[in-house]
A = this chain, B = another copy of it.
Amino acid sequence: MPRTADSALLRALRGDRPAHTPVWFMRQAGRSLPEYRELRVGTRMLDACLDPALAAEITLQPVRRHGVDAAIFFSDIVVPLRLAGVEVEIQPGRGPVFADPVRTRDDVARLTSIEPASVAAAAGPVRDAVGIVVEELGDTPLIGFAGAPFTLAAYLVEGGPSKEHLRARAMMHADPEAWHGLAGWLAQVSAAFLGAQIEAGASAVQLFDSWAGSLSPADYRAFVAPHSRAALEGLGDIPRIHFGVGTGPILADMRLDGLADAVGVDWRMPLDEAAAVLGGRTTVQGNIDPALLTAPWPVLEAHVGDVVARGRAARAHVVNLGHGVPPETDPDVLTRIVGLVHSLQP
Question: Which of B166, B216, B291, B326 makes the CB contact (< 8 A) with A326?
Answer: B166
In the complex, A267 Cα to B290 Cα: how many Å?
A: 27
Smallest CB separation, A155 vs chain B (Å):
15
Smallest CB separation, A32 vs chain B (Å):
13
The contact string, 1 if C-beta is below 8 Å from chain B, for chain A 183-197, is: 000000000000000
Is the Cβ of A164 less than 8 Å from the Cβ of B290?
Answer: yes
Residue A234 CB within 8 A of the other chain = no
Known: A213-B246, A246-B246. A170 touches B269 (CB 8 A): no
Known: A246-B246, A248-B249, A249-B248. A292 touches B170 (CB 8 A): yes
Question: Which of B170, B267, B290 makes the CB contact (< 8 A) with A294?
Answer: B170
Smallest CB separation, A311 vs chain B (Å):
15
Which of A173, A249, A290 gathers the greatest number of chain B CB atoms within 10 Å?
A: A173
Residues on B with C-beta less than 8 A from A323 are: 164
Smallest CB separation, A165 vs chain B (Å):
8
Known: A164-B290, A249-B269. A295 touches B170 (CB 8 A): yes
Residue of B nearest to A217 (CB): B268
Known: A164-B323, A248-B249, A249-B269. A291 touches B170 (CB 8 A): yes
